[in-house]
Structure 1
Amino acid sequence: MSRKQKNDILLGLLIAVFVMVLAWLVWLLLRPSPAPPVSTPMPDAWSRIQASGQIVVGTSADYPPFAYYDSNFALTGFDIVLMREIGQQLGIQVVFRDMAFDGLYDALQLQQIDAAISAISVTPERDQVVDFSSVYFVSEDGILARPDAGIVINNVNDMAPYRLGVQAGTVYERDAQRLLVDNTQMPQQNLFVYQQADTAVADLMAGRVDLVWLDLQPAQRAVSLNGVALVGQGLNRQTMAIAMQNGETTLQTRFNEALAILQSQGRISQLVLDYMGIPPDQIVPPPTAVPSATPVPTATPPPCTDGMRFVADLNLDDNNMRNPPVVQPGTPFQKGWRIQNTGTCTWQTNYYLLYVNGNTPAARMGGQATFVPAAVSPGQAVDMWVSLVSPLQPGVYKGIWALHNSQGRAFGDRIWVGITVPAPPTSTPPPTQTPSPNIQFTANQTTITAGQCTVFSWNVTGATAVYFYSAGQNWHQYQVPPQGSRTECPSFTTTYDLRVLWPDGSTEVRQIVIQVIPAPTAPIIEQFSLSPPTEIFAGQCVSVVWRVTGNVTGVTLLRNDTTIYSNAPINGSLADCPPGSGTTTYSLVATGPGGTSRQQQLLNVILPATQPPPPTATSPAPPPTIDSFTVRPSEITRGECVNISWRVGGAATLIQIKRDGMVVLDNAGFSGVVSNCLQTPGVVTFRIEASGNGFAFQEAQVSVQPDAGTGLPLVGTNWRLTDYWDGQGAVVAALPGTTVTAVFGADNQLTGSAGCNNYTAGFSLLTISNSLTIGPVAAGNVFCAAPEGIMTQEQVYLGTLPTVTGYQINGNVLELRDGNGRVVLWFQGS
């Protein structure tokens, strides 16, 4: 083939390629555009609700009278019943989710709930993130004072220096407690809580309180009828509505239609009367304008959103509080939940679970903040465990916990632990007393029902001095004549002592135990105390403080059987100046449909009358005092029980009873008696602590002996750390000022205090080979700053326990060895 022919062929190929490329480009330009993908719009909330037949409503059930749990742990309240009636109007089932209030708006954005109702007030800030229904309730307050008081109230803190009266169960009681008392702006005894607002106004006119905080309409009526002055209003104006996600116009319309029907039928007015006690003619009319829906924002997407969903109980399932599991009194245990991250933020290790409230103050059960163990991404689940100790007092306990982010903001479902603490066996009776020919000491009845009284009588001959008192009181302050009688009305089982001093210097004590049968539904006197607690000079005054809970119809304060305060508030105080000298008996009587409760306090008024001025209503809160604390008997055999009784005075804000460093009764009352059955031989130390405007404590010890005929095996023993191997080649003594304990329980559970946090772990052993295995250790997450090095010591100790493989008891010393045969922990018997 010639060169020319070859060139012609190459040129032809190039032309063909060019034509093909040109054709492909023309096809690209002229081809029809593909149809864009069809996006499926998200159904609106009302469509989802109709499809499922139910609406999921978020609430925060810690705000009576709007949303709370009743005594049977059923969800109720003004908002709850109103929402159920709205559901009936709309033909849908209402399902409530109890959530942290601060997280309700995020839960709406995450479509975890369809709506939220929880005394939510419409504000411009909230209107930026959610839409609202029409307003269903308007609350506005008024503050009353005497016309000559010269008081002006512009904000809540202006009320702090005064004695303030509020009605029980209202938002004003809650806000006064939360904003003034809990923030230490006002002493607890300056908050007077009344069953009826009219009684508070009567005490205002009588000078027993300085202010009354109530709804505006009854406040204005009191001004016109009683001549008191309105010195403030509008501090707490709220226009309440149902919240929903922005742009949900159909759901908003359905809510408004249902509310209009209920309003026209008078149902909302009836609910206001049922739950708030406000008659229809005193209800503030809601505004007629309906809040308009806010358009769905198209601006920059918001930052990540926190969300949490409860998945399952890992143990101790209470079946929604229908069957709380039984935990014996004073038992360390753990509660676990599985929770899921339903938000868009990753939970970091500075997120934490925190106790928020419970059905009783003791429901905290010593629980502390527990941090998330590792980062949890959106969609992931994590198991959370908290370490607790069951209360010593029998009853049903529900402690509610909430997850918090690193800024301390609660969000997501509120989760709880529910347990039943059974009544302990009867405590060990005291030994029979040998009769004495020179002492006659009797009580006309030794078994009474709470609220009843018994009369003690005594006749002592040949004694130097005689003292009559309840066990635990300072007997030096209660001298009585050799012959006499006294009426006592104990509210719980109490031991009374008659102490006799003989001329030869010896002492003889006679005891009578008064068994008190509780009246389960009678009012509960949580506090009844005097300050000063036991003794004043003639002419001085004493501050009487009381707090009553339960179903109460009347409270009366008496001095020596003479009424000095009738129709008293259920929470209140009184400065009283008893006349004359000698023993003065103050009695508080609380009555209700379930019975009567009564408590007494004795005050010794002595001469001469040289005293400081009487206390005023604005005096600072007195420091807490431990008026009595006893644990009896002081020596028992393993498995027997002791009675723990106490009485605390002053302005205590937190009272705890501890056993060997562990809280066994959290938020205890100002007085009471509980039993505790002890299973571990050794010396057990009980301690009561009262904090507030100061700190007070007192301790008592009990010697627990092993069963007769048995030695002191590892099981059932109690030890205190003295030295430990630091892992760096040195033996280190336990830090001074710290107590690290190890209790080997009969249930094969090792419990104790690691110095700062309590811990628990399983263990197994072989007595013949002295083999000991300690399982994974669970402990709290509290950080203790003092003494220096305590957290390092705790970390080493908790990390050493799982390495233990053997033990040796040498007298009163316990040695634990690791797998290399090296002693790593030294203990001394407690």
Structure 2
Amino acid sequence: MKKNGPVLNIVLAILVVLFLCVGAALVWQLIRPSTATPTPVPTATLPEGQSGDAWQRIQSNGRIVVGTSADYPPFEYYDTNFQLTGFDIALMREIGQRLGLTVEFRDMAFDGLGNALTLNNIDVAAAAITVTDARDQFVDFSNTYFISEDAVLANTASPINSIDNASQIVNQRVGVQRGTVYDRWINSNLVATGEMPAANLLVYESVQHALRDLREGRIDLVALDLAPAQTAVAEGGVKIVGQGLNKQQLALAIGNGQTALQAQLNSALTAMINEGRISALIKEYMNFDDANIVPLPTPNPTLPTPTPVPTATPQPCIDDMAFIQDLNLNDQNMTAPPQMSPGWPFTKGWRVRNSGTCPWNSGYRLVYVAGNNPAAQMGGQPTPVQGTVPAGQAYDFFVNLVSPLQPDVYQGFWQMINDRNTPFGQRIWVGIEVVAPATATPMPTQTPAPNIQFTVDRTNIRQGECVVFTWNVTGTQSVFFSQAGATTQAAGANFQGTSTQCPQSTTIYELRVVWPNGSTEVRQITITVTPAPLAPRIDRFTVDPSGQISAGACVVIRWTVTGQVNQVSIARNDAVLWPQAPLGGEVQDCPPGTGQVTYRLTANGPGGSNQAQQTINVVQPPPQPPTATPAPPAPPPVINNFSVSPVQITAGECVLVSWGVGGGSVRTQIQRNGQVILDNAPAAGSQQDCLNSAGSYAYRVQTWNSINESAVADQTINVSPPAIPPGLTNTRWTLYSYWDGVSDVPPIPGREVWISFANAGTFSGSTGCNNYNGSYQVQGNSLQVTGEIASTGNMCADPPGIMEQESQYFNNLRAIRQFTLPNGELQLIDGNGRIILRYTVLTAQPR
């Protein structure tokens, strides 16, 4: 199954060399990944009250807790009404009914089911689990309730109708899911031996992505299990061309030594088999007919006694997580998801418990894993644990999200991973309904007034992500959008536009508006970029030939992505060519027309995103020129003068860059810190450049002649930090109201929330629960937090709501763009002009 079985032995490999790989499934990591020599269960101290006889506990509670992993139709998945369904779900509901028990399902990371059984946090695991000797070291099993077969799929239009031996696949593009026996066997037996080109094995993070590419003709075959293969055939576009080369037995998993529970489950399963109920469920959920149902063994064969292995060194702890409650935005089990306007920023909170025995630290993270819609991630990013969470303690997670723009119902699933990136514990979700905004009554036409709207979809991103700037300026003479001074004019009055930017480090962007009277107004937005050390790694991304090709020619794109990966995509000039590409492979592309073509590879994973790009030029083949008299040699380029003055300024001030070139110069560039700020500059000229951030800036003029010889000249200037406005220096302010996303509200009584500004561009304060600190920049009345806000990371249960208030407070601090000081009050304002924080009681800081 998806979570599968044993390593195939050499004898079996020889017998089924025709295509052995289709006869197994994914490795189930119960406590740790299975190996050729199974390792005994590591010992761990269980939380008090979690040991003992499971059946006695179940009878006492009148409830059986079933762990599943609802990402594998038709066995377990969520239907269009957001409810759990599938073969295993129906099976356990009927078993519960026969035993007189209420059944409680917990959707969990599959890799964490074994931990949950060991800790007695669940009673049964029902998740298309294949019985293997290795797993039998960790858990006990019920009798077999289903026997799975393998399958090989091809496109319905494919001439391939039968797979008889391995030679039939070596020249085909075969899709497999990463980590499956198909992946390992083809790599070991065909690719490593040189029989199959490595480019013909395409490894996917999800078998659903492989099936989509099979239907779209990008690959030739997919190897997987029979049940999901039957589902794929029913959905259309594919056919089975091979099956039945190896069978896998599925059973329910329970804790070791739980013989009483095992007997009750086996009794219910036996009755269901004898009454035909198992066959009925197979027909209902898998669309099998009687001929496709493999008879179950009677009695269930006993697994061979595993070879004894040395006693393992005790493992100190086991990871697990249990959901306690929604802290806000309760969707009532997706029956009444909260309604939101499109593009609305919000924070979702959950309370969970460390139900394992390992303490959680900052290496433990809550990450997005899946959703009912590609937009269901809602911009959410991996959220690390703050501080240390001991076993048994509750913890509140808050994730900043933005509602999608398209009206619909969205459900996004999140789960925890540990410091080794291993998933564990229950999955939790956020569910919302995005509703279309009401149609506004048109306002009377009026003369446009000077107005600037300059926004970005988010200001805090992880490395590898992009943001979209939007501006709309009316009544203006000209508009410039720039990054670090590299201005690009968006010409024309009443100008509006957008720009997608993908900064790799924290960057300040600005919109510079020149009004008809000649005055200039500047709006700035800082994009804070958090490094993503655990993001997927792009080990290779090439486009051949590189540099330049002629119109009508093609390139070959090759790539390899490793690490924790959810999605790989390849785009040409922002048009997606392959939305769910495999983790490695090659593809040919013939770009149309002429001009610059940029290919981008994007890899997303639970630890963040990464991107790589290659740019080529597509040109018309030059006509064959007539034989000409050789031209005289081109004279060398000459730089007559180059200066940047003054050489010392304060952030927010400007320098004048002046230059002059001669000789054979035909092209000139002005650069700052390696970035081109003026290309094809005139032979002589000057340009003002305004610098908003402190630091050292290296300017260069470079000029070329007609045969690409060049000359350069350099000059460096220094920019000092701006002076802190007197109204903020060495002051402390007490919060008396803040914007909570709906209205202006006072802070919770009894806990003072304050902030103080030092004269070195730093601030500190208290939220009433945690102390915090950070840095900021000012220019005139512009004020912006730079970098991350650090806090002591404590969890405060009293007074109620204090942690939600702290989360909103930090969000508001990150959104600050301006400040005012009316009548002894400090007002902090966001990019939309809204006052989001109000402080009072201005007092001088002690020296």
TM-score interval, smaller chain? 0.3 to 0.5
Bigger Cα Rg: 1
TM-score of the pair, normalised by structure 1: 0.46
TM-score of the pair, normalised by structure 2: 0.45
